[in-house]
Amino acid sequence: MKTTSSLQLSLTAQQRISRTCPYKLRVCRSGIHRLGVRAGKSIPRGRKVIEYRGEKINRVETRRRFLHGSPGRSHKLNYLAQLDPYWTIDGAVGGTGAELINHSCEPNLKLRKFRGRLWLFSMRRIRPGEELGYDYGFSETGKRVRCRCGSAMCRGTINRA
C-alpha cells in the first residue's frame, strides 16, 4: 500500500480548507501533534469557522474504524467525530481539512451540531498565526490518551475529566 507523506497530506488538506472555509487557514507542522491548522487572519468570536465533514458511518463501522483505522490510511490515527448516538463522521474520508485541527485543553474552537452537521465555532477572537484547537472530549471510561497540548490548563489527557 502506498503511504502518504506529511507534505502531500498537508498540500491536499490545504487545498480542501481553502475551498471550504470562509477564513484564511493554513496547514502547518504542529508542536502538539504532527500537522495542525493556524489562522491566517483574525477570526471573530462566535463564528462558524469550518465544517467537520467526511463520510457518515454507523455505530458498527465506527467501532471497526476506531480499532483498525480508516480505509486507504497506512496509520491508525482516527479522525472520527460523533454526530449523534448512531452516526459518526470520518474526516479521513472526504474531510475538509478540519480533521487536522488538534485537541487542546484550552480550546479556541468548539465542535457543535448545527442543522444536522458538525461545525467548529470560534469561542473567542482568534489571532493571526494562532493554532486552532478544540476539546476532543474522549470518553472518560475509555482508554486514556495522553494530551500534548502544552496549555497551562492541560489536564494531562484528551479524555474528559
Question: Does residue 58 fall inside a structural domain?
Answer: no
Range of the domain at 101: 6-53+95-134
pLDDT tens-place string over residues 93-148: 888 999 999 999 999 999 999 999 999 999 999 999 999 999 998 888 878 889 99
Per-residue confidence band for 73, with pLDDT thresholds at 50, 70 and 90: low
Do 27 and 100 form a contact (C-beta atoms < 8 A)? yes
Tens digit of pLDDT for each residue in 13-49?
A: 778 887 778 899 999 898 888 889 999 999 999 999 9
| Number of helices (H), then strands (E), in the chain | 2, 10
Q: Is 49:121 a contact under the CB 8 Å cutoff?
A: yes
Asked whether the CA dihedral 19, 25, 28, 34 is positive or negative, the reply is negative
Count how many domains the chain has: 1
Rounded to whole angstroms, the Cα distance separating 42 from 130 reads 9
| Residue 69 resides in a domain | no
What pTM was estimated for this model as a whole?
A: 0.84
* DSSP assignment letter at 82: E
Residue 112, in any domain of the structure: yes
Residue 25 lies in a domain: yes
Asked if 54 and 94 touch (Cβ cutoff 8 Å), the reply is: yes
* CATH number reported for the structural domain that contains residue 120 in this entry: 2.170.270.10
